Amino acid sequence: MGKFQKALGRFMRINRIAYSFIAPAVIVMFLVHLIPTAQALYMSLLNVTQSTYAAPFSSPFVGLHHYQRILGGLLFGSEDKLITDLTQSVINSFWFTLWVQLGTLAISLILALLLNREFFARGLARTLVLLPWVIPTFAVGVIWRFIWAQEGGLANRIIVDWLHLADDPLRWLIGANARTALILPAIWRGLPFTTVMLLAAMQIIPDDIYEAAAIDGANDIQKFLYITWHYLVPIIAVTTLFGIVFNFFGFGPYNIAITLFGTDQLGRYVDLIMVAIARQSFGYQLYGYGAAASVIIMIAALVFTGLYYRTFKEGLTSE
């Protein structure tokens, strides 16, 4: 024990400058993340409702009841309206995240390839690509709400008046069309980050590699597949991880959905998991239940991130 304490003390003295630099960040992280997380964990074991909200930590202790109710309903089915809504939101979030990630990656890759070429006003084009990034997420929903408007909206004007693809204006914000109405703004909002990351990766590829490939007779497709793609894999792995965490587990789509549809009652097709948890927690004032659902989502996000990192470790860490 004495040797361990001496070794620890010597290690701390040697690295004291490094610890002094990271100490403020550690303190802020502790205050901002760990304390609220601990409170949420404790609240998830209590039956905190409107009647006990004034003194939430004095609410009746129910142990793992909320976890049994949620996980049991999600895994084995339930007629509980809260659980059926939560199950549908998980399914919606899965498809929403899948299509948003595929759409964002495909369009960002095309934009990055175009912006990596020399052309007039390339700097202006690169600046305009960042435009969706500087717009707050709630404003994104408002903008696209006008685009999807049934009467006078830009989408129906293009489809009905200009291209004549439909006889009558489409109702984008109701029914199955609402999925498209929510996915496209989310893709639009995510394009700048992924495009900039892919473009940055392309910028570091040495030109002599392409020149050597050209001498060997490689065409543009072969250069992309065997040179460019190799440099893009780590960036795609990172942006995909961020995108899944942001769109499935995060709160970003919440703001877009609420402002786009003007309500948190999003219905069968676009009710996302974070919207459902927020509605059930604060709208129905089931705070203990909501805390348990949030803890389950947090654990799921941690497990997913760990498995993702383990699976794609080589791609995430390769140079």
pLDDT tens digits, residue range 93-147? 999 999 999 999 999 999 999 999 989 888 899 999 998 888 888 899 999 999 9
Q: What 3-state DSSP class applies to 46?
A: strand
Percent of the chain with pLDDT over 70: 97
In whole angstroms, how far apart are CA 79 and each of 67, 84, 89, 275? 16, 7, 15, 20
Q: What is the pLDDT of residue 173?
A: 92
The Cα 296–Cα 273 span in angstroms is 12
pLDDT at 91 over 90: yes
For the CA atoms of 21, 23, 24, 27, the dihedral, rounded to the nearest 10 degrees, stands at: 170
Q: What is the pLDDT of residue 46?
A: 93
Mean residue pLDDT across the chain: 90
DSSP per-residue string spanning 51-111: GGTTSGGGSPB-TTHHHHHHHHHHHH----HHHHHHHHHHHHHHHHHHHHHHHHHHHHHHH
Instruction: Tell which residue, 269, 270, 295, has the closest CA to residue 281.
Output: 295
Kind and range of the H or E element at 19?
A: helix 16-29
End-to-end CA distance of the chain: 41
- Cβ atoms within 10 Å of 121's Cβ, excluding its own: 9
- Cβ atoms within 10 Å of 54's Cβ, excluding its own: 8
Q: What is the pLDDT of residue 49?
A: 85
Q: What is the pLDDT of residue 318?
A: 58
Cβ(171)–Cβ(149) under 8 Å? no
For the CA atoms of 270, 274, 280, 285, the dihedral, rounded to the nearest 10 degrees, stands at: -140
pLDDT at 315 over 90: no
- The three-state (H, E, C) secondary structure of 145-188, written as one string: HHHCCCCCCHHHHHHHHHCCCCCCCCCCCCCCHHHHHHHHHHHH
Q: What is the pLDDT of residue 13?
A: 83
Q: What is the pLDDT of residue 271?
A: 92
Q: What is the pLDDT of residue 92?
A: 95
Instruction: Tell which residue, 281, 263, 246, has the closest CA to residue 82.
Output: 281
Lowest mean pLDDT among 50-59, 79-88, 159-168, 170-179: 50-59
The Cα 235–Cα 255 span in angstroms is 26
pLDDT at 319 over 60: no
Cβ(21)–Cβ(14) under 8 Å? no
Question: pTM to 2 decimals?
Answer: 0.87
Cβ(175)–Cβ(181) under 8 Å? no
| Across 24-32, average pLDDT | 88
The Cα 49–Cα 187 span in angstroms is 37
The Cα 107–Cα 114 span in angstroms is 11
Instruction: Tell which residue, 283, 289, 298, has the closest CA to residue 60.
Output: 289
pLDDT tens digits, residue range 29-77? 888 888 889 999 999 999 988 888 788 888 899 999 999 999 999 999 8
Which residue carries 């490689």 as its tokens? 218
- Cβ atoms within 10 Å of 224's Cβ, excluding its own: 15
Lowest mean pLDDT among 19-23, 98-102, 112-116, 296-300: 19-23
| Across 146-175, average pLDDT | 91
Q: What 3-state DSSP class applies to 264?
A: coil
